[in-house]
């Protein structure tokens, strides 16, 4: 084995060495700089796990408790590190357990390479034990997928997989490897990374005439408005974006996946877009004269009713994915390209400006929102605890330096609205798919992606129960994640809709929970449950200062609603404060 | 100019032929098909064939949709890793043909001399003549192949089948030169051409 590995790490010569498909796979992962694999073994992937036995020093494999946990961990890792998350699962049920995570990664453009074992090639199509047509099941939820039936294909296919996952608009890739290919020996001549596929254009060529048109539109705008999304972060264009915003002087608002690309406190950051976003950004969408949309896709949760969305405005859309241009909102000037390149080109052509009156409008709306909503949410004088005040105390203790991972529901919207973020890659949430159960495993991966940072997973009592088995992973692999359960004893977000739109008819949203602290204790994780205002800050401090993982449950008021809110089917300017 | 969020006047649906140049890859047909089925759009005709270039496949897909929807579909198809290029055209932009086969009882046909003439008028020819049945073939547009069904129905049409549409874009230079561009690491303008810059041309392209 020693000798074999030496030869493998020197792929320059023409000499080849005989290795198994499994070894070639692991060599590919090493060559791609894989730091951690989240996986779960099984019959059809056993040869790979057997090879992994000899690679324990080189590849860190984390045994999860469920493949969905594995893939969400891969997503968390990708989101905080900017690298490709790697996930292993066996055939059949192992592979189907990945589907939710693939769909989530697909819609949120998260780079992943998932490896699934498959039955022997000669058994394909025979309903063999644990055979599932994984390629067909996962086609709609992968950027690319491929089944390997011959070991000689492994190096090239893996290099394509990584290239496709991370380039252009990133996304999940699934490689299904039949068991015979994992075992098969072949003459291996090293690993060559892929940087070109003739049928695949990750980046469109930048068209200067459109940059010029966009700049002209911006330069003559009276009330321009920037909407930014995750594209800024995926394109690693935070600095370019900041330079653009600061020179242009344009008020800028974010989608939840774009949060943190510039700090919460930045004077031109006017807040969150969308259904539970801030008051000003929603209302003023229908008052601005030019929208500059950067790396965002006009999701319906952001636009509300489309035929009443920014009808007065001209739209400049910067996106790397041509299929996003005009998909939902008709663009005036399309700027196809990588925003890392298009933004500086645009910045160079725009005038240095400020829009004091226009910006003040946002601040005036903010003041109204503070008075009508935010004060009561963040600083309630009496009554039961609110989710907002917990996040507010958390901000004071982390100073905006922590990574906030959220699950899905009211607590997610509250955390996204109020969490202070100083740095990019600090907000990990399931935006497009809204996958309950995302946060706990994603937090595990987030910690691997940014080991030096504090990771706080904000989770509802409902969502926590969807993937709480990953407490076992946290226990076994000693992962330092802070688990903050905001327990309202309801499937709160659904309850809110039932209250507002279904006349208080609470249909199956009343959810009971186990003793979460005792549950944590069973996994040897320290925990605490609080319900008093005076305990919030000290308990959060205890959680943050504790060495290792910690579960803090905060009992919050049961029937609080998240406001503002753009009710479904309404225009963004019909946003409700109560 | 104000933007129109696609909501004012609903565009009329019409027949579009989508031409897709692809790598020859297992599973790609499914990847392309689900882009239609996901939006609950019926594919009227689908043909896969080799192209003028070895190793490059060509799909012809016919749908009845608005131009706006067809453009979105085409972009989502072109986004697939193994798709090189997508064009969509109205019937005016293309030369297209469909082939049809008709099985009719030979005795009836032989009896009625008029059938012979009808077939000739419709450009049909006999592919097989047996004692029990005769198979005719005709190639043309939908209306022509449809017309012959109606004509043969009274003579005891036993079986009918029509092929998918194959289409050639009138205003196209083929794919050879483009492919060479695709093979370069830094492809030229041609490959990333977009419809905004090609407004003057008759071909809509991504
Ligand atoms: C897997 C999954 N199932 C169902 C839903 C629908 N859903 C959205 S929010 C929500 C309630 C979440 O409850 P909880 O986790 O307690 O969070 P809360 O809203 O109370 O903060 C539900 C059921 C979902 N988003 N994901
Ligand atoms: Mg709840």
A6, A15, A18, A129: the catalytic one is: A129
Give me the CATH code for the B95-162 domain, please.
Answer: 3.30.70.1150
Chain CA centroid to CA A109, Å:
8
Nearest CA to ligand 1 atom 1: A436
Do A315 and B2 make contact, defined as CB atoms within 8 angstroms? no
pLDDT at A14 (0 to 100): 65
Contact A483, A551 (CB under 8 A): yes
pLDDT at B199 (0 to 100): 37
| Residue of A68, A416, A433, A436 with the most ligand 1 atoms within 8 Å of its CB, for mutation | A436
For residue A269, being part of any structural domain is answered with: yes
For residue A367, being part of any structural domain is answered with: no
Q: Stretch A350-356: mean pLDDT, rounded? A: 98
pLDDT at B3 (0 to 100): 37
pLDDT at B2 (0 to 100): 33
Looking at the fold, whether A352 and A418 belong to one and the same domain comes out as no
Give me the CATH code for the B8-92 domain, please.
Answer: 3.30.70.260
Per-residue tokens: B179: 């492919």
Neighbours of ion ligand 2 (CB under 5 A): A 460-462, 488, 490, 492
pLDDT tens track for A300-340: 999 999 999 999 999 999 999 999 999 999 999 999 999 99
What values do phi and psi take at B114, rounded to 5?
Answer: -65, -30
pLDDT at A13 (0 to 100): 55
Looking at the fold, whether A162 and A264 belong to one and the same domain comes out as no
**Residue B187 contacts A, CB cutoff 8 Å:** yes
Which CATH number goes with the domain that contains A506? 3.40.50.970
Q: Stretch A470-480: mean pLDDT, rounded? A: 98
Round to the nearest angstrom and report the end-to-end CA distance of chain A.
67
Looking at the fold, whether A416 and A294 belong to one and the same domain comes out as no
Looking at the fold, whether A30 and A102 belong to one and the same domain comes out as yes
pLDDT at A474 (0 to 100): 98
**Residue A550 structural domain:** 385-557
Band of residue A12 on the pLDDT scale cut at 50, 70, 90: low
**What dihedral do alpha carbons A422, A544, A532, A530 form, nearest 10°?**
130
Band of residue A479 on the pLDDT scale cut at 50, 70, 90: very high
pLDDT tens track for A47-94: 999 999 999 999 999 999 999 999 999 999 999 999 999 999 999 999
**What dihedral do alpha carbons A530, A536, A537, A538 form, nearest 10°?**
-20
Question: Quick check: B191 pLDDT over 80?
Answer: no
pLDDT tens track for A209-245: 999 999 999 999 999 999 999 999 999 999 999 999 9
Residues of chain A with pLDDT > 70: what percent? 98
CA distances from A434 to A261, A298, A301, A365, A424 (A): 21, 16, 11, 28, 21
Looking at the fold, whether A403 and A274 belong to one and the same domain comes out as no
Question: Quick check: A350 pLDDT over 70?
Answer: yes
Band of residue B119 on the pLDDT scale cut at 50, 70, 90: confident
Per-residue tokens: B53: 């270039």
A275, A493, A543, A565: the catalytic one is: A493
Q: Residue with structure tokens 């799909």?
A: B59
The Cα–Cα gap between A135 and A175 comes to: 8
Residues of chain B with CATH 3.30.70.260: 8-92
**Class of residue B199 by CB neighbours under 10 A (exposed 0-12, middle 13-18, buried 19+):** exposed
How far does the CA of residue B22 sit from the closest CA of chain A (Å)?
7
Domain total of chain A: 3
Q: Stretch A204-208: mean pLDDT, rounded? A: 85
The Cα–Cα gap between A140 and A127 comes to: 22
> Is A130 known to be catalytic?
yes
Looking at the fold, whether A184 and A213 belong to one and the same domain comes out as no
Collect all residues of chain A within an 8 Å Cβ-Cβ radius of residue B66.
none
Per-residue tokens: A444: 């595990």
Which CATH number goes with the domain that contains A249? 3.40.50.1220
Band of residue A171 on the pLDDT scale cut at 50, 70, 90: very high
Identify the bridge partners of residue A479 per DSSP, sorted by sequence position.
none
pLDDT tens track for A397-455: 999 999 999 999 999 999 999 999 999 999 999 999 999 999 999 999 999 999 999 99
Collect all residues of chain A within an 8 Å Cβ-Cβ radius of residue B5.
306-307, 309-311, 328-330
pLDDT at B58 (0 to 100): 95
Band of residue B187 on the pLDDT scale cut at 50, 70, 90: low
**What dihedral do alpha carbons A261, A263, A267, A270 form, nearest 10°?**
60
For residue A199, being part of any structural domain is answered with: no
E strand or H helix at A498: helix A492-501
Distance of CA A149 from the midpoint of ligand 2 (Å): 46
> Is A493 known to be catalytic?
yes
Residues of chain B with CATH 3.30.70.1150: 95-162
Q: Best interface-test mutation with A: which of B1, B2, B5 has the largest number of A CBs within 10 A?
A: B5
Question: Quick check: A359 pLDDT over 60?
Answer: yes
The Cα–Cα gap between A433 and A106 comes to: 9
Question: Quick check: A165 pLDDT over 90?
Answer: yes
For residue A222, being part of any structural domain is answered with: yes
Looking at the fold, whether A295 and A353 belong to one and the same domain comes out as yes
Q: What share of chain B is helix, strand, coil (3-state, %, to 5)?
A: 30, 35, 35
Question: Quick check: A362 pLDDT over 50?
Answer: yes
Looking at the fold, whether A333 and A412 belong to one and the same domain comes out as no
For residue A538, being part of any structural domain is answered with: yes
Which of A155, A188, A221 marks a domain boundary? A188
pLDDT at B196 (0 to 100): 42
Is the whole-model pTM more than 0.90? yes
CA distances from B69 to A158, A164, A334, B43, B58 (A): 35, 27, 18, 13, 21
Using alpha carbons only, give the angle A519, A522, A528 rounded to the nearest 5 degrees: 50
Nearest CA to ligand 1 atom 5: A436
Collect all residues of chain A within an 8 Å Cβ-Cβ radius of residue B196.
210, 334
Helices (H), B23-175: 28-37, 67-78, 106-111, 113-121, 142-152
Residues of chain A with pLDDT > 90: what percent? 96
Looking at the fold, whether A176 and A236 belong to one and the same domain comes out as no
């Amino acid at each position: 084995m020693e000798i074999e590995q030496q030869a493998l790490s020197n792929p320059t010569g023409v000499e080849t060495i005989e290795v198994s498909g499994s070894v070639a796979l692991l060599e590919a992962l090493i060559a791609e700089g894989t730091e951690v694999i989240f996986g779960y073994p099984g019959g059809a992937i056993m040869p790979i796990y057997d090879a992994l036995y000899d690679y324990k020093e080189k590849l860190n494999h984390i045994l999860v408790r469920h493949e969905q946990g594995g893939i969400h961990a891969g997503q968390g890792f990708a989101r905080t590190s900017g690298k490709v998350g790697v996930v292993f699962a066996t055939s059949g049920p192992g592979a189907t357990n990945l589907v939710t995570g693939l769909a989530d990664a697909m819609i949120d453009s998260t780079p992943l390479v998932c490896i699934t074992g498959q039955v022997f090639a000669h058994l394909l199509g025979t309903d063999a034990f644990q055979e599932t047509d994984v390629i067909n099941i996962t086609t709609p939820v992968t950027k690319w997928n491929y089944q390997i039936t011959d070991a000689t294909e492994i190096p090239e296919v893996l290099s394509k997989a990584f290239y496709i996952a991370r380039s252009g608009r990133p996304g999940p890739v699934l490689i299904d490897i039949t068991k015979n290919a994992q075992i098969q020996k072949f003459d291996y001549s090293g690993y060559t990374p892929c940087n070109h596929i003739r049928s695949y254009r990750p980046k469109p060529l930048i068209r200067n005439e459109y940059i010029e048109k966009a700049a002209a539109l911006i330069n003559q705008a009276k009330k321009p408005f920037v909407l930014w999304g995750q594209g800024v972060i995926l394109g690693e264009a935070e600095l370019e974006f900041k330079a653009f915003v600061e020179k242009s002087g344009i008020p800028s608002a974010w989608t939840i996946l774009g949060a943190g690309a510039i700090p919460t406190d930045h004077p031109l950051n006017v807040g969150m877009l969308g259904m539970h976003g801030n008051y000003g950004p929603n209302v003023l969408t229908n008052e601005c004269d030019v929208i500059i949309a950067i790396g965002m896709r006009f999701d319906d949760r952001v636009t509300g009713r489309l035929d009443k969305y920014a009808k007065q405005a001209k739209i400049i859309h910067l996106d790397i994915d041509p299929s996003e241009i005009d998909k939902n909102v008709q663009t005036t000037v399309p700027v196809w390209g990588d925003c890392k390149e298009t933004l500086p080109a645009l910045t160079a052509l725009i005038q240095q400006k400020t829009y004091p009156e226009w910006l003040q409008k946002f601040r005036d709306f903010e003041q109204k929102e503070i008075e009508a909503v935010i004060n009561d949410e963040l600083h309630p004088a009496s009554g039961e605890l609110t989710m907002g005040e917990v996040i507010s105390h958390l901000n004071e203790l982390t100073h905006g330096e922590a990574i906030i991972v959220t699950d899905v529901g009211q607590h997610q919207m509250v955390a996204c609205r109020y969490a202070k973020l100083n740095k990019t890659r600090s907000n990990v949430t399931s935006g497009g798919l809204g996958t309950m159960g995302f946060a706990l495993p994603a937090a595990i991966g987030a910690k691997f992606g940014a080991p030096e940072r504090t990771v706080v997973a904000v989770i509802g009592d409902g969502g926590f129960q969807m993937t709480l088995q990953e407490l076992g992973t946290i226990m076994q692999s000693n992962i330092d994640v802070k688990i903050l359960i905001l327990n309202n004893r309801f499937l709160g977000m659904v309850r809110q809709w039932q209250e507002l739109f279904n006349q208080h008819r609470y249909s199956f949203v009343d959810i009971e929970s186990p003793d979460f602290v005792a549950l944590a204790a069973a996994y040897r994780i320290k925990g605490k449950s609080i319900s008093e205002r005076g305990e919030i800050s000290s308990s959060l401090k205890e959680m943050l200062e504790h060495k290792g993982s910690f579960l803090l449950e905060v009992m919050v008021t049961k029937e609080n609603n998240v406001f503002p809110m753009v009710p479904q089917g309404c225009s963004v300017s019909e946003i409700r404060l109560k | 100019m104000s933007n129109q969020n696609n909501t004012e006047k609903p565009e009329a649906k019409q027949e579009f032929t989508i031409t897709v140049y692809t790598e020859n890859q297992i599973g790609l047909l499914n990847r392309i098909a689900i882009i239609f089925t996901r939006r609950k759009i019926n594919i009227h005709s689908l043909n896969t064939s080799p192209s003028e270039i070895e190793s490059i496949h060509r799909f012809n897909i016919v749908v009845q949709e608005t131009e706006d929807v067809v453009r979105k579909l085409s972009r989502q198809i072109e986004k697939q890793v193994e798709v090189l290029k997508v064009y969509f055209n109205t019937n005016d932009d293309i030369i297209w043909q469909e082939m049809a086969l008709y099985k009719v009882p030979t005795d009836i046909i032989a009896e009625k001399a008029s059938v012979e003439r009808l077939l000739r008028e419709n450009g049909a020819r006999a592919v097989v003549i047996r004692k029990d049945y005769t198979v005719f073939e005709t190639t043309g547009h939908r209306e022509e192949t449809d017309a012959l069904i109606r004509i043969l129905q009274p003579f005891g049409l036993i079986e009918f089948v029509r092929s998918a549409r194959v289409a050639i874009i009138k205003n196209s230079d083929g794919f050879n030169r483009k492919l060479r561009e695709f093979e370069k690491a830094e492809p030229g303008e041609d490959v990333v051409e977009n419809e905004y810059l090609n407004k003057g041309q008759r071909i809509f392209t991504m």
